[in-house]
Structure 1
Amino acid sequence: MKVKIIVILLFSFYWVSAQNGKLAGDWSHIMTVENQAKINTEFTDFAPSYWNDYIVFTSSKTRQKIFDPNIKEGFFDLYLSAVGKSNNLERSAQLSKILNTKYHDASSSFTSDGNTIYFSRMNDDGYMNIYKSHYQDGEWEEAIPMVINESESQSVHPTVSVDSKIIIFASNRAGGYGLMDLYFTIYQDGEWSEPMNLGPVINSEDNEVFPYLSHNNFLFYSSDGGENSDLDIYKTMFKNGKNHKIVRLPYPINTEYDDLSIISDFEGLNGFLSSNRPGGAGKDDIYKFNSSQSIFGYGETDYNIMTLTAKDGESKKILTNVIIRYRHLKEEEIISFNKSLFNITQTSYDSVLVDKNGKAQIKLLPGYTVIEAESPQKEKWQIALTDRMENKSIDILMNRLKPELIDTSQKTKVIIKPTLKNTELAIGTILVFDNIYYDYNSHEIQSGAAQELDELSEAMLKNANLKVQLASHTDSRGEDKYNLLLSERRAISAKAYLISKGIQPNRIFTIGYGESQLRNHCKDGVKCSDKEHLFNRRTEVKILDN
């Protein structure tokens, strides 16, 4: 039996019994969620927000004898708590006697300078509207209603962007898609624009509430529009007024109960949320979460992708004959950070060759990544980057090798360049291996069908600097997604074969393209012979380093 609290605020949080819901993802092995027992009460505590070094939250704990008969609790007020050891919340106190009135004051958001608050307040007509106040001389001024409110409707749960130019909020105004929808407004030319609905991708026929816009434009919000009808926390990228892929956050953020009003630190590793899950002190409690992986990256294949563009340091023209090597630093290496960490080739590392536009992409893992770029007759370029960088693109400006660094005193040595299939193995060379045979629908290499891999292993054993990328391709038979996975497995099988011949794993990189790069007309729906399909099943070898 579910008791829905919509009266007054349309805050849309629920007190529910457990349901047999399906959880999307499980991060319990890398994430902890802990009840903040020092501030939670037997009543309702929810909607945390950041204000300078404090957490501001909403609570119905009684500071007066006036009760809201609809929820049989005191009216909501804004409280603040200091963040103590291990990121736990300590004692709480009223945020401001000026901001807390005798009726509901709740769900706050602050500008990045901490000098303006936006929050929800019940007006004299009984509707919840969004108000704002400024912090002057150590106290909050009298709050005033925002122009974005609409008469005879609720406007609640504001969240303001880091540049203070966008507010996203929940409202049940006419023209929406459901009970409560998310809207946004933009501050331009000295005033807030007419609120715009975020559209049916986010807004369902039910409730979308408690938005939180992070510094890097991830929009978190709660919705009961899922299959279980409890409030769950979702994430999407909010950019240029548009939202993108919707991702339901994993357990233990989401449970079979109501989970709402999440906030996060800069890295997405720590934060707070509200929930009525069992074991709490009251109806809704505030919880702390701590994760070893960023919630910003959950469900995001391109999160923390750094785009590198190689250019000539003088002319700024694009360079294409550039190899990029990189490796993620371990925690113990960061503690003793020194120049030796830039000796990338003395350790296990990854590498990639820039494309025809001089570009390459690498994924930055939490912490630091050491990167170097090398090109003939150019000085080596090196940098250490943190995943906390706002800008996810960087130019590699490569300068000409200084004359004094070119050793001309040594006698010229005859260098025998490695070759394979009568082709010089220069950086960027691509060889097509047509004769690594796999059975249809299998990633296992057929017995005796790896002659080309044998030849490659011999070349790599003779040249310890040789590093390759193995790109595997399938024919068009089967589902696209399955073929992509199959091609990845085939590339891994080819890598395993080379490793069995004595090649170090860090010299072999794999990628699967599935059926996306067919060499003939045998696409989906076209009748072809087995021989024609076989022509598309191949492995391409790209020389990354020699």
Structure 2
Amino acid sequence: MKNILSLFCFCLLVTVSYGQNKHSEKADKLFNTYQYVDAIDAYLEVVNDKKADSYVYKQLADSYYNVFNINEASKWYAKALDSKQDAETYYRYSQVLKSQGHYEAANTQMDIFAKMLPEDLRAKEHLMNPNYIPRLADESKFFDVESTIINDNEQSDFGAVLSNDNILYFVSTRDNGKKEDNWTNKPYLDIYKTTRNVDGTFTDPEAVKSLNTPYHDGPITLSEDGKTMIFSRDGHSEGIYKKMDKKQIKLSQQGLYKATLIDGKWKNIVALPFNSKEYSVSHPSLSSDGKTLYFASNMPGGIGDTDIWKVSVNKDTYGTPENLGKLVNTADKEGFPFISDNNILYFSSRGKQGFGGFDIFKVDLNKKEEATNLGKGINTKSDDFSFSINTVKKSGFFSSNRSGVDNIYLAIPICQYQVITLVEDAETKQFIANANVSILDAKNNIIATQVTKEGKTSFNVNCASNYTINVEKEGYESLTIPVNREDQDQIVVNASLNPIVKDAMQEMITDKEVILNNVYFEFNKSNITYQGATELDKLVTILNAYPEMEILVRSHTDTKGAAAYNLKLSERRAQATIQYVISKGISKTRLSALGLGSKEPKIDCKSNCTDAEDAQNRRSEFLIVKK
């Protein structure tokens, strides 16, 4: 149950006015007697006379909110919040923003609400998990990002690769006793390793001495079994360089080397055959089957400065390097390839459209589609590079100098799948165009709405919630269908809509009442919800088809709470129900409302009702006064 303070705020909202505007007296009377449709017209008159203030805007927004006109409610809440309002107004604005799919903006409003009422259960729930809505997967967001604890914030750390036995290898310029590189004035790179613990923390990094030399070593790639490593190394270490006589400079290139893990140490280090004094070969990534090695190089035959290449591998035999072409490479720099076990190639580029500096991209080599930018969070205006992912451990790593120095960040994959909805006429089996298809989360928040094109819509959603598809089309009965994923990457929801004809309506009409599914309200609330609006639209259709019909809406509560409070709550709910129907164009003379509180329970379970029994008692009845 919500705490007393929360409940008190709700009661104030419907019984007391804050900062009343002297020009809105008529509208206020209509609002306070729950005549929201007429109140809207009256408040709009004040607005049109240019006598409105933030109080009027708030009242107008609340009126729209109570009849589930989300877009208008959002518009007027935004104007009302130019001035400070009571906590409940911020809460309501957050709800309409969620219904519009504006989740970050909704969270901002909930942050304000939580500061104003920190003890409210809604505030506590928000602060515990502010991003509880599993929002539609933004095409530009594939990972959540966290900083790792292994970084030396004064030196460069990058090239992190996690083995299947939880050893994380990376390269760093952290203090290792080496002399400085004259080009960067920083220590040469060394290869380090650390172990990831069960709780996600890491042991203190230690240098891999059997691999490191006085010059640059790393980054690395590992075989699937973790027993073979291919790594970059500066040619100085092997005596492979060109002498620049005039300046007494020894110019070396990066090359690739192979090492084997024997008795816990890396041994048998050998150079790969395509290393050269004339060009650099670096940034290796070995496919999971060990048959293809990807790397970056400025070798002849490329497209730009440095390109991504691949070469076939057969034990100790290597084929001829192949350029990956314009699918990946540009006239600028590409580097740091990483090939995942599902044949997704991640790489960094300065030549493709991005946020600035190096951005990280991915391309599915199975489909050979255009490369996709990994989007905000992963990419920034700074250099973002050296991405790797262990799909078994569901952990990715990348590096960025967004803090001013190269640091390693953890990339947590966002589980996503596609929901395709096919909408057809139940009788003709023809696809229906221009139907409204909404996807709702487990809390019945509207995540997004699309209009069918040739009977089809498609949503990309996160895996961490249950979803419901709701389909509406004028002239058809609306349909609600639960989404059952069952670990599939794509599911198809078939929505077969029944045309609304008088014969079908007759099934909903008895001698005494119109039978609808239960119109639910939030606990202790009386505003119309999305689910309630969907059901009441059926009543609107029936009333339009039977223009002489008159309806009495009787609203009931469960048996919890004081009888007097329940009576007033049911009266508000009954009024909100008919106000919604009136807002859809039905004459107010055809509707009446009666709140009965807990006087006539459907199940007489008194104070020992189960949740299921309470739900049946919280109901609205639509009695036919006149056919």
Look at both structures and tell me which one has the larger radius of gyration over its CA atoms.
2
Structure with more strand by fraction:
1
Write 1 or 2 for the structure with the bigger share of helix.
2
